Structure 1
Amino acid sequence: MRRSLLRTGTALAATVLLLGACSGTPGQAAAERINVVMVLTDDLSMNLVQHMPNVRALAAYGTTFSQYTVTDSLCCPSRSSILTGRFPHNTGVFTNSGDDGGFTVFAEEQEKDTFATTLRSQGYRTAMMGKYLNGYQPARDGVRPGWTEWDVAGNGYGQYNYDLNENGTVKHYGKTPADYLTTVIDGKASSFITASAAAGDPFLLEVATFSPHGPYTPAPQDDEAFPGLTAPRGPSFDKLSADAPAWLASRPALTDQQKTTIDRIYRKRAQSVLSIDRLLGNLRQTLEKAGVADRTLVVFSSDNGFHLGEHRLAAGKQTAFDHDVHVPLVMAGPGVRPGATVDTMVQNIDLRPTFEQIGGVTSSPDVDGRSLVPLMRDGRADGWKPIGLVEHHGPGHATDDPDRQDKASGMPPTYSALRALGFTYVEYQNGDKEYYDRATDPDELANTAGALPADRAASLHATLERLRACKGAAACN
């Protein structure tokens, strides 16, 4: 496998990806076009990658984006941004359900214009497998625009006893080990790759797992893994930030029982990512066997991060802290530098234009993100955006929301935030503000917003106002 992936310096990579010569016309030979395989996980935090050898191997063959952040640490808003390349204020998807989020809001307009619709129009086979968007129901909502292969579940968080819409036919899966959802989509994804390669068609495949989202169900062979494993206890574990915002300031110290629960959850999460890691390894082997590994971009990431004891918070997400918005992004394939790290600020809105450039598509001017191809190619970040935007509506209370949180897990009110290489700045709808100098305070334990010089505070506010009203890459950069 190493030999195949290191062929990315060949003439194929130079002419197709490095020089951007892929025309993307439907009749163009598949051998001249780059495939895309993305494994998108659910709630996978940075501290779980240490338990995933195939992810670490992918990083050795490819490039790690060390400053990759999401537009919101919540499933549906983040996935909507990935599919469309747009911030939540341009998708209208800020939550998982209701008038400002979920599948129904996305389906009104946004899903008519995604990386799936554009690549399919250029002759790509496109496949979505696993989790789509919160609120999607297999029996009601059917196959969605842009996808030639559709194997999508509704509530698959428990990994068993779920319905899967298989290209328009709903099939129920039960309780046997063979029904484990990550295993099922692993097999379907490999079959899709094999069939597409045999047909000579370029393809885009998104494999979106429900793991390691709660209830943190591991595969049968993994439920005894990591005996005695405990959650990481970094500097922010069970610590409040100085001058914490009102929603957080009253959090009491974690009890011994809460710490025991946190350790149990972390162990279950570590167990549950093992099946994802096998899936990634299996897909790379399938690409090798199908003879297309040297012309396939493989992407690994998560829709959001997760906190588990940090800042005195029980299991959850939705905050602007790094443990919730900063997630893994690893890419390997043609033209991607092996073993490299890119420290430039990038976001999930940048994935769509990346896939489109690879597929020979010129992204629409109202796509907010920018292609990562130059950063993968040579690390050049000329004119690249220095700051990312995070937008969140809260607190959410919908009883059917799988991401519903209580005060122990954190219920931040509506906020917008800036994340740059050295700082995080947050403005809440209720007037609270946070500023963390991550260069000196990487664990975000000292909120110094109240001590900012007036001109600095005004500049940050102006930048935040500009970005949360921006539309299109030119304005959002």
Structure 2
Amino acid sequence: MASRSRLAVSLAAALLLSACTPNGTPAAPAGSPPVGGGDARPNVVFVLTDDLSVNLVRYMPHVRALQSRGVTFTNYTVTDSLCCPSRASLLTGKVPHRTGVFTNGGIDGGFVMFHRRGHESRTFATDLQGAGYRTALFGKYLNRYQPENTIGGGRPYVPPGWSGWYVGGDAYGQYGYELNENHVVRHYGHEPDDYLTDVISAKASAFIEESAASRTPFLVELATFAPHSPYTPAPRDADAFPGLTAPRGPAFDALPAGAPKWLAGRPPLTEDERAQIDVVFRKRVQAVQAVDRMLGSLQATLARAGVDRNTVVVFSSDNGFHTGEYRLNPGKQTAFDTDVRVPLVVAGPGVDAGRTVSAPAQNVDLRPTFADLAGVPVPADVDGRSLTPLFAGPPPADWRTAALIEHHGPDFDPSDPDRPRPGSGNPPTYAALRTAAYTYVEYVDGSREFYNRRQDPHQLRNIVEQLPAARRAALHRALKRLTTCRAASCRSADRVTG
């Protein structure tokens, strides 16, 4: 409640004291209600990308501009470096052992498992829709969701909580896909105007304008399929960044000392592999140009509709991606920072400008954050914490010190679009504990890793065997507490000492 009060005060101050919007247009007179609604609750625009790693942000000028206007979380991680488990955590505010979604399909993952366990009735969408918000999702939902699926009903299925639904299934190629548009399936072809990122950008802008005109607060999620493979750029970006190569940092084509069993013995990258990695990285940079323009277009729509000064914009990714680090071909699913640490940028009323936050944050925090912004009581059964206290001040004294990552593997599902290709990394089941200072990993095969990232930021020296036995035992106990926690117990188990 205290964080909600602080946010309300700062939001009111932002609304009353601004003479102009960030876009330079005149603000409404002091004391007048926001154009987008009859109360001071902010709108939320959430851009969620697919496989966008931290090293792509430098090529996204609108994202960088958003950073200058807001807060960047430098230790924001996902609960699993895999699409469906990460998105399940994001929607529900719960870690994978609570959602039961560990993979993209089968008996422990995918849309079917998420639906079967009843999670769709308790998400950030149902929270805000129940509080009077208009809510809409554009783009990607969960793996194995198909637009034409009726789930036993007469019409294509739309989950509870969403006022607007414009969602695709296997639309990774950006062309030749279907969208379920509010229970009606529409096919899109291969013309330039069918490019998916541009299509959802236009639809989201229309939804924002409608919501603003009706003076109703809104939450809009734009979940792009970019830059997921096959990394299809918009036609106007297909020849951009000629000659660009993947970063050759210290971890590129380097095997960590003391590598775990699944990685140990991985040979150096071949010349052909290096060349292909460069192609993949360049295409990923090309693919995010449309995403970046989409962010700029959304901000222009917010300003045009007169609601930019009362809208919180959030930019993030469902997981990271490695391109040559640790001798691995392009992929994800590992516990390395390349895969689990992703961008999180928040800007808007009540949010400090140009600040970075190093306190550990995680995707389970977004549901309680959105609830907090909307003045909705944070659901008691979530595992995450509202980030709103960190928007304009230091973290509370009892803030988490550790984040949990849980992964089931290896992934051999031939129908999974995220199935690792040869040499791209396909680790066995593991759980990991990540603090601002170190990463500790336990694998089902008995392997262990400990990287002191303050001394070894590129995670190239696994020093777990050098730790005193008492320290290893304490780390094991801390990880065990997190992998068995529920709700309030998660919010105490995540405060790890040492």
What TM-score results when the alignment is normalised by the length of structure 1? Answer: 0.94
Q: Is the aligned partner of 1:372 residue 2:387?
A: yes
Quick one: distance in 2 between partners of 1:363 and 1:373?
12
Q: Is the aligned partner of 1:100 residue 2:108?
A: yes
Where does the alignment leave 5 or more consecutive residues of structure 2 unmatched? 1-9, 18-35, 151-156, 493-498
1:476 CA displacement: 3.2
Aligned to 2:312: 297
**Secondary structure in 1 aligned to 2:281?**
helix
Percentage of pairs with the same residue? 58
Quick one: distance in 2 between partners of 1:245 and 1:36?
41
Aligned to 1:11: 13
Q: Is the 8 A contact 1:231 1:263 kept in 2?
A: yes
1:9 CA displacement: 6.5
- The letter of the residue matching 2:186 is K
Q: Is the 8 A contact 2:333 2:339 kept in 1?
A: yes
Q: Is the aligned partner of 1:432 residue 2:447?
A: yes
Deviation string 1:257-296 (CA, Å, 9 cap, x unpaired) is 0000000000000000000000000001100011111111
1:99-118 counterparts in 2 under 5 A?
99-108=107-116, 109-118=118-127
Residues 475 and 13 (structure 1), Cα distance of their counterparts in 2 relative to 1, 3 Å cut: farther
Deviation string 1:127-182 (CA, Å, 9 cap, x unpaired) is 00000000001001421111000000001100000001100100000000000000
1:27-426 counterparts in 2 under 5 A?
30-108=38-116, 109-141=118-150, 142-426=157-441
Q: Is the 8 A contact 1:12 1:32 kept in 2?
A: no
Q: Is the 8 A contact 1:130 1:210 kept in 2?
A: yes
Quick one: distance in 1 between partners of 2:37 and 2:334?
46
1:328 CA displacement: 0.3
What TM-score results when the alignment is normalised by the length of structure 2? Answer: 0.90
Quick one: distance in 2 between partners of 1:29 and 1:253?
58
Quick one: distance in 2 between partners of 1:476 and 1:291?
38
1:213 CA displacement: 0.2
Quick one: distance in 1 between partners of 2:183 and 2:357?
41
- The letter of the residue matching 2:139 is G
**Secondary structure in 1 aligned to 2:314?**
strand
1:12 CA displacement: 5.4
Moved more, 336-345 or 404-413: 404-413
Moved more, 357-366 or 328-337: 357-366
Aligned to 1:19: none
1:379 CA displacement: 2.7
Q: Is the 8 A contact 2:12 2:40 kept in 1?
A: no
Quick one: distance in 2 between partners of 1:134 and 1:252?
32
Quick one: distance in 1 between partners of 2:365 and 2:434?
15
- The letter of the residue matching 2:202 is G
- The letter of the residue matching 2:444 is Q
Q: Is the 8 A contact 2:233 2:288 kept in 1?
A: yes
Quick one: distance in 1 between partners of 2:471 and 2:81?
26
1:306 CA displacement: 0.2
Quick one: distance in 2 between partners of 1:62 and 1:169?
38
**Secondary structure in 2 aligned to 1:32?**
coil
- The letter of the residue matching 1:284 is Q
Quick one: distance in 2 between partners of 1:357 and 1:41?
23
Quick one: distance in 2 between partners of 1:29 and 1:53?
30
Residues 461 and 150 (structure 1), Cα distance of their counterparts in 2 relative to 1, 3 Å cut: same
Quick one: distance in 2 between partners of 1:104 and 1:278?
33
**Secondary structure in 2 aligned to 1:246?**
coil
Q: Is the 8 A contact 1:63 1:330 kept in 2?
A: yes
Quick one: distance in 1 between partners of 2:379 and 2:395?
23
Quick one: distance in 1 between partners of 2:287 and 2:421?
24
Please report the RMSD computed on the Cα atoms of aligned residues, expressed in angstroms: 1.5
Q: Is the 8 A contact 1:370 1:473 kept in 2?
A: no
**Secondary structure in 2 aligned to 1:103?**
helix
- The letter of the residue matching 2:69 is Y
Deviation string 1:29-71 (CA, Å, 9 cap, x unpaired) is 5342111000000000011001000000000000000100000
Quick one: distance in 2 between partners of 1:440 and 1:11?
42
Deviation string 1:212-248 (CA, Å, 9 cap, x unpaired) is 0000000000001000000001000000000101100
Aligned to 1:448: 463
Quick one: distance in 1 between partners of 2:224 and 2:11?
32
Aligned to 1:25: none
- The letter of the residue matching 1:65 is F
Q: Is the 8 A contact 1:128 1:205 kept in 2?
A: yes
Quick one: distance in 1 between partners of 2:288 and 2:39?
33
Q: Is the 8 A contact 2:385 2:491 kept in 1?
A: no
Quick one: distance in 2 between partners of 1:218 and 1:301?
19
Aligned to 2:477: 462
Q: Is the 8 A contact 1:13 1:335 kept in 2?
A: no
Q: Is the 8 A contact 1:344 1:381 kept in 2?
A: no
Deviation string 1:100-149 (CA, Å, 9 cap, x unpaired) is 00000001211110000111011100000000000001001421111000
Q: Is the 8 A contact 1:237 1:310 kept in 2?
A: yes
Aligned to 1:3: none
Q: How many residues align?
A: 459
**Secondary structure in 1 aligned to 2:392?**
helix
